[in-house]
Amino acid sequence: MDRYGDEVVSIIIPTYNERENIGPLVKNLHHNLSRCNYEIIFVDDDSHDGTSDAVNSLAAEYPVKVMVRKDKRGLASAVVDGIKIAGGDTIVVMDADLQHPPEVVPELLGALTTYELAVGSRYCKGGSAGEWTITRKIVSKVANLLALPLAPGVKDRMSGFFAFHRRAVNIDSLNPVGWKIGLEVIARVNHGTATEVPYTFVPRARGDSKLSNRVMWQYLKQLVKLYFNKYQISNFMLVGGIGYVINMAVYSLLTLNMKTNQTTFLGQHFYLVPFVVSSLLAIASNYILNKIWTFKGWNEQRLGGLRYLLMALATLLLDMLFLSLLVDVGKLPPVPSAALAILIVFVVRFMIARRWVWSKKSV
């Protein structure tokens, strides 16, 4: 941890009615970080027990300060607000209730000499959930399992005790919903740049637990948002599904009309003209929806609309090739053949769109 002697380490601690824990926590952190240039930022959700006064009373002796939020609530958003005013390029996040042992903070910082993110872990070798009840352990295990695809390389995905380099995460990309801000940070850090540091979860000695049904509901909502963000193809699929319905509905009507009127244009390939018309309508719909939803927050490349059109037209040729093969060689009816052709080319469209049309601005 010696390398942090000249750097500022910012410790972000969200609080709500934690006055009794402030003094012991600050003194313990100071004892463990005596060789470190650090600051402690408490972000308080307008506690009514004098939490902010307890912090201010220590400011003359220790590098501490408090941000009091009167119009916002929530642990996750408190952490994000604290990071935004922090002066350090190394960030530590922990709870104020002393359940996250301050003596583990130097170990987290030491791990950052090699990794971008160090997670205080109850589930890796050497870690423990401590004196939890069976019910609490089951709830934690289930919640942890639900987040497995978001961070498969980390065992304690529910940890609220972690440290990271500011460069590893675009803070503006964080969506502060619920309480598990750690999961969001873990999910956004590049695979292979995170490690875990074991610790034993300490029972709360003072104050009240913040765990509630509301917290669990917020966690589920956060999971949904993280899954949609991380596996963005699901958004693209939903938009594509809408375009697919538009395409097939219009194509079916036009094909039926052309067959009824016995149109001879293009001979036996009459089905290609309505496919082009219906596909162009779907392309326009997909571009608009992808722009305002799937790739919301991404930078659109220069001439993005034209790029999308060119991409769509190029893949439309692929669609038409597969359609012709399925109808002429496979002897399938035009409508189900069109459906299959669109599905086959879907992944190609997604990869081109995210790499050539939109360029992600966040980490």
For tokens 């650090």, the residue is 38
Which CATH number applies to 2-230? 3.90.550.10
Q: Of 212, 211, 222, give the one whose Cα is nearest residue 186.
A: 222
How far lies 60's CA from each of 11, 54, 64, 213, in Å? 18, 12, 9, 39
Q: What is the pTM of this model?
A: 0.63
Choice between 187 and 232, residue whose per-residue pLDDT is larger = 187
Q: What is the pLDDT of residue 362?
A: 45
Q: What is the DSSP string of 186-236?
A: HHHSPTTSEEEEE-BPPPP-SS-----HHHHHHHHHHHHHHHHHHTTHHHH
- Averaged pLDDT score across all residues of the chain: 83
- Give pLDDT tens digits for 327-353: 888 888 888 888 888 777 876 777 788
Distance in angstroms (rounded) separating the CA atoms of residues 207 and 16:
10
Domain parsing of the chain, residue ranges: 2-230, 233-359
Provide the pLDDT confidence category of residue 191 given band limits of 50, 70 and 90. low
- Give pLDDT tens digits for 74-114: 888 899 999 999 999 999 999 998 889 999 999 999 999 99
Tokens of 96: 């104020």
Distance in angstroms (rounded) separating the CA atoms of residues 305 and 311:
10
Residue 140 has pLDDT above 60, yes or no: yes
Burial classification of residue 105, based on how many CB atoms lie within 10 Å of its CB (0-12 exposed, 13-18 middle, 19 or more buried): buried
Q: What is the pLDDT of residue 3?
A: 47
- Give pLDDT tens digits for 42-71: 999 989 999 999 999 999 999 999 999 988
- Strands 117-121 and 162-165 turn out to be antiparallel
Distance in angstroms (rounded) separating the CA atoms of residues 54 and 151:
37
Q: Which residues pair with 93 in a beta bridge?
A: 12, 162
Q: Of 197, 164, 196, give the one whose Cα is nearest residue 181.
A: 164
Q: What is the pLDDT of residue 264?
A: 52
Share of the chain above pLDDT 90, in %: 32
Letter string b/e over residues 333-357, b meaning 16 or more CB atoms within 10 A of that residue's CB: ebeebbbebbeebbeebbebbbeeb
- Give pLDDT tens digits for 263-292: 555 556 667 788 888 888 988 898 898 888
Tokens of 172: 């503006």
Q: What is the pLDDT of residue 360?
A: 61
301: left (phi over 0), alpha (psi -120 to 50) or beta: beta
Q: What is the pLDDT of residue 44?
A: 94
Mean pLDDT value of segment 132-144 = 79
Tokens of 244: 């697919």
Q: What is the DSSP string of 55-102?
A: HHTTTTTSSEEEEE-SS---HHHHHHHHHHH---SEEEE--SSS-S-G
Distance in angstroms (rounded) separating the CA atoms of residues 153 and 150:
9
Mean pLDDT value of segment 126-154 = 81
Q: Which residues pair with 65 in a beta bridge?
A: 41
Collapse the DSSP code of 321 into the 3-class scheme (helix H, G, I; strand E, B; otherwise coil) and give the result: helix
Distance in angstroms (rounded) separating the CA atoms of residues 52 and 61:
16
Mean pLDDT value of segment 191-197 = 85
Beta strands in the chain (DSSP E): 8-15, 37-44, 64-68, 90-93, 117-121, 162-165, 194-198, 299-300, 358-359
Q: What is the pLDDT of residue 2?
A: 47
Choice between 98 and 236, residue whose per-residue pLDDT is larger = 98
